Amino acid sequence: MTRKLRIATLGIHHETNTFASNKTTMAEFERSGLQTYAVQRGQQYYDMHEKSQTSMAGFIQASKRLDFELVPLIFAATDPAGTISKEVFDTLGGEALDMLREQGPFDGVLLNQMGAAVSEEYPDMDGELARRVREIVGPNVPVAMTLDLHANVSQQMADETDALVIYKTNPHIDAVPRAHDACDLVTRMARENWRPAKWLEQPPMVVGIFQHDTRDMPMKAVLDDLETVLSKPGVVGGSIGEGYPWSDVHENGLACYVLHEDSVNESKKWARWIADRAWSNRVDLYEPVGPSPSQAVTQALEKASTKPADSGPIVLLDVGDNIGAGSSGDSTFLLTEAVRQGARSWLQTVRDPDAIEACLAAGIGSDITVNVGGKTDLLHGEPVELTGRITRISDGRFEDTGTVHAGWRFFDAGTTVVMECDQGPTVALVTTRIGNMSREQYYSLGYRPDDFEIVVAKGVVSPRPAYQPIAHEMITVNTPGATSADMSTFDYKNVRKSLYPLDPEAQYDHE
């Protein structure tokens, strides 16, 4: 009988917005809006994911299906935000690598990464972690890295691993099956002493955030091309990295990656075939489209006045304050317009610990006037003066076992206060930078977004699994902010010299 494989898993999961003013320090890894425990070790890493829909849940399922021992070391994840401090990488990376050294030897490693992590010291933090893992386990132990579709994939990440496996869907609802794919590859490599031939192709182009939904054209065509390639003889895997635009790093952009049974030339040929086709469609894959905040609120009010009463809300997607991409959560561009244009049935969150403190001092049931939002930096609008009644005070914790972007389950908005404002809007003031990925956020407070005329969801794609089922219509709004869709509003210094659309004349040459 063959010995059971021992496969370790570890991860430091972060999507870093290098333009965001809020740095990611140890404090952010001590408390996260995405997980009850931002840092999970050993059995806790296992337990917190077993019944979720995350990559780790897929590893756990695959360990039973493929009969290997999964050794959970450490998993750290916190909300997307600014550059990660050196201390975080030294502390958490150091602990992860110590565990890998001390609990080994292993027959394989599953790196559970997001793929767009940038630290003060390492612009390619995911690649650096992979390099150090490789240094410890040596060249003969297979290493696979699972990644979010928003990964900015570097050559180092490809070189230091034997397989990269990226989600194929945005909204991200396939973390589990992709984790199974990673486990299939790693166990085969370990059992057959085989390695796939790999190729990473990076045409110099960025996919715009309006185009990130993989269910819609033109991005759907890129993923369809991947499926075509995956059906070719000898192709054993492949991924597309959509990229994460708000990162001032060399590898910012689209990535096409193909694994072949034994031929690098075949991997290269097919990765380039996908890349060439995406490149020829680069204009459509970037162009920011969508109404301004004032236009969007006008449209939403018009639509709300004519839609059937029981048809669900108009959902406004706040692109510039995409918390899931690292922005502040306290943008007021849409709220300002709601007040100015007299929206009465309006529901949204605003992150504002100061306003919450004032509300807590006043107490539930009292009337209060507070300045709300627009306090983190100068990118997200002015504070809005709201007067209203404090109707709810909660610890902000809620759970969602339904279909949620990336499969998260336990959420923590921190102390949360709901104000029903005289001006019209109902505003949930939250403490943490939490995206609007789950309707439970409001149900847990006793409010039904289903019954409002207009609901704001901060984000572009991540709120869709939660809000599409109830929305009468969703409008993607071209709001300013740290996650603006317009790349020309940011000062990039470290991206490739000639990158579309920053360089409209960019060329993509290969033999």
Residues that bind Zn ion (CB under 5 A): 148, 150
Least distance from Zn ion to the Cβ atom of residue 437, Å: 11
Least distance from Zn ion to the Cβ atom of residue 149, Å: 5
Shorter beta-carbon distance to Zn ion: residue 150 or 198: 150
Least distance from Zn ion to the Cβ atom of residue 242, Å: 8
Shorter beta-carbon distance to Zn ion: residue 18 or 423: 18
Q: Contact, 337 vs 475, CB < 8 A?
A: no
Shorter beta-carbon distance to Zn ion: residue 205 or 209: 209
Least distance from Zn ion to the Cβ atom of residue 474, Å: 18
Shorter beta-carbon distance to Zn ion: residue 150 or 351: 150
Least distance from Zn ion to the Cβ atom of residue 171, Å: 9
Shorter beta-carbon distance to Zn ion: residue 150 or 375: 150
**Of 342, 337, 379, 375, which Cα lies nearest the Cα of 356?**
375
Least distance from Zn ion to the Cβ atom of residue 359, Å: 33
> Distance between CA atoms of 435 and 91, rounded to whole angstroms?
27
CB atoms within 10 A of CB 366: 10
E strand intervals along 178-252: 197-201, 235-241
Least distance from Zn ion to the Cβ atom of residue 150, Å: 4
Pairing assessment for the beta strands 197-201 and 255-260 based on DSSP bridges: antiparallel
> Distance between CA atoms of 72 and 405, rounded to whole angstroms?
23
What would the 3-class secondary structure string for 361-373 be?
HHCCCCEEEEEEC
Q: Contact, 406 vs 441, CB < 8 A?
A: no
Shorter beta-carbon distance to Zn ion: residue 72 or 326: 326
Q: Which residues contact 184 (CB under 8 A, 6 or more apart)?
A: 62, 66
Cα Rg of the chain, angstroms: 23
E strand intervals along 39-96: 39-41, 69-77
Shorter beta-carbon distance to Zn ion: residue 107 or 148: 148
Least distance from Zn ion to the Cβ atom of residue 57, Å: 17
Exposure on the CB side of residue 390, measured as CA atoms within 13 A: 21
Least distance from Zn ion to the Cβ atom of residue 172, Å: 6
Looking at the DSSP bridge assignments, the partners of residue 245 are none
Cα distance from N-terminal residue to C-terminal residue, the chain: 49
Q: Contact, 399 vs 387, CB < 8 A?
A: no
Between the CA atoms of 295, 296, 299 and 304, what dihedral angle is there, to the nearest 10 degrees?
Answer: -150
Shorter beta-carbon distance to Zn ion: residue 148 or 337: 148
Shorter beta-carbon distance to Zn ion: residue 115 or 313: 115
E strand intervals along 130-248: 143-147, 163-166, 197-201, 235-241
Q: Determine the residue with CB nearest Zn ion.
A: 150
